[in-house]
């Protein structure tokens, strides 16, 4: 994997956008635009793989094309709204349809917003940011605690069963990112995008080095078990064995 340049705005830090779109030109254009401003992305080209990607990656927002081959984007939106785990997942519908009736139908299935094709990248980014702001969870600075492992984003302290844990700034950011996104699998590339900050050139195997350091720091109280290798994919933070 080549080194890559990652630039970001603070606002987009760690946000993961799933793009479900069957037209490759639009999909690639949107993905490139989102990654350029620092979003982490994944893509799917139909509703079935889109649904699987929601389950596997737990995105923060879904850009969902209305007209997909097979199951429509509208059907997928309906399904995501029905299910407990994805009920509040922000959805922006992308569509060539512009009639008022279709727009209403989009909101009826619970889409948070609606962007008509053709759209400008700038407009799309503005809509995404607006929806993310509207749906943002409060308390991003709140301490996170999982079974005795506690991370305080304000004081930058980590304790394990009350014992202080020493780690470097990258390990701290990595652990913070993992603890903020439990049970999700991240590729090395996604971890690079989310943890390393702006304008850096880092190789993917560097991720493994820092994963080892995080685990080592957590080993005395056995919390290294939370940082799990998902073979062939990447890593996840999970309290489940």
Nearest residue by C-beta to Ca ion?
A: 67
Single residue of 22, 56, 75, 221 touching Ca ion by CB under 5 A:
22
Q: How far is the CB of 96 from Ca ion (least distance, A)?
A: 8
Between 51 and 237, CB nearer to Ca ion: 51
Q: Is 46 in the site for Ca ion (CB under 5 A)?
A: no
Options 7-15, 61-69, 99-107, 130-138: segment touching Ca ion (CB under 5 A)? 61-69
Q: Which of 59, 5, 60 is CA-nearest to residue 199?
A: 5
Count, residues near Ca ion per rule CB under 5 A: 3
Between 24 and 148, CB nearer to Ca ion: 24
Between 109 and 217, CB nearer to Ca ion: 109
For residue 38, the SS3 value is coil
Tell me which DSSP letter residue 12 carries.
Answer: G
Q: Cβ atoms within 10 A of the Cβ of 42, count?
A: 18
Q: Is 171 in the site for Ca ion (CB under 5 A)?
A: no
Query: Does residue 3 come out as left (phi exceeding 0), alpha (psi in the -120 to 50 range) or beta?
Result: beta
For residue 94, the SS3 value is strand
Between 65 and 112, CB nearer to Ca ion: 65
- Rounded CA-CA distance 67/93 in Å is 10
- Rounded CA-CA distance 201/106 in Å is 41
Q: How far is the CB of 107 from Ca ion (least distance, A)?
A: 19
Q: How far is the CB of 66 from Ca ion (least distance, A)?
A: 7
Q: How far is the CB of 95 from Ca ion (least distance, A)?
A: 8
- Rounded CA-CA distance 112/87 in Å is 12
Q: Is 67 in the site for Ca ion (CB under 5 A)?
A: yes
- Rounded CA-CA distance 22/26 in Å is 8
Single residue of 65, 113, 171, 193 touching Ca ion by CB under 5 A:
65
Residues whose CB falls within 8 Å of the CB of residue 197, separated by 6 or more in sequence, listed in order:
6, 8
Between 98 and 230, CB nearer to Ca ion: 98
Q: Which residues bind Ca ion (CB under 5 A)?
A: 22, 65, 67
């Amino acid at each position: 994997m080549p080194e890559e340049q990652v630039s970001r705005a603070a606002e987009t830090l760690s946000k993961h956008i799933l793009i479900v779109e069957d037209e490759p030109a639009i999909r690639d254009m949107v993905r490139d635009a989102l990654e350029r401003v620092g979003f982490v992305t994944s893509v799917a080209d139909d509703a079935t793989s889109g649904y699987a990607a929601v389950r596997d990656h737990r995105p923060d927002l879904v850009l969902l094309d209305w007209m997909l081959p097979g199951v429509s984007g509208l059907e997928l939106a309906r399904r995501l709204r029905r299910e407990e785990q994805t009920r509040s997942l922000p959805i922006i519908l992308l569509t060539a349809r512009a009639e008022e009736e279709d727009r209403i139908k989009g909101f009826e299935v619970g889409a948070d917003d609606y962007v008509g094709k053709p759209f400008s990248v700038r407009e799309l980014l503005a809509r995404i940011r607006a929806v993310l702001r509207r749906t943002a969870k409060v308390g991003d600075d709140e301490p996170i605690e999982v079974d005795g492992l506690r991370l305080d984003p304000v004081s930058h302290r980590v304790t394990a069963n009350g014992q202080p844990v020493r780690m470097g700034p990258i390990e701290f950011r990595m652990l913070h990112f993992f603890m903020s996104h439990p049970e999700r699998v991240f590729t090395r590339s996604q971890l690079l995008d989310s943890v390393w900050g702006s304008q850096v050139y880092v190789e993917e195997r560097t991720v493994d080095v820092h994963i080892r350091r995080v685990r080592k720091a957590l080993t005395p109280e056995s919390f290294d078990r939370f940082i799990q290798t998902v073979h062939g994919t990447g890593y996840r933070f999970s309290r489940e064995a």
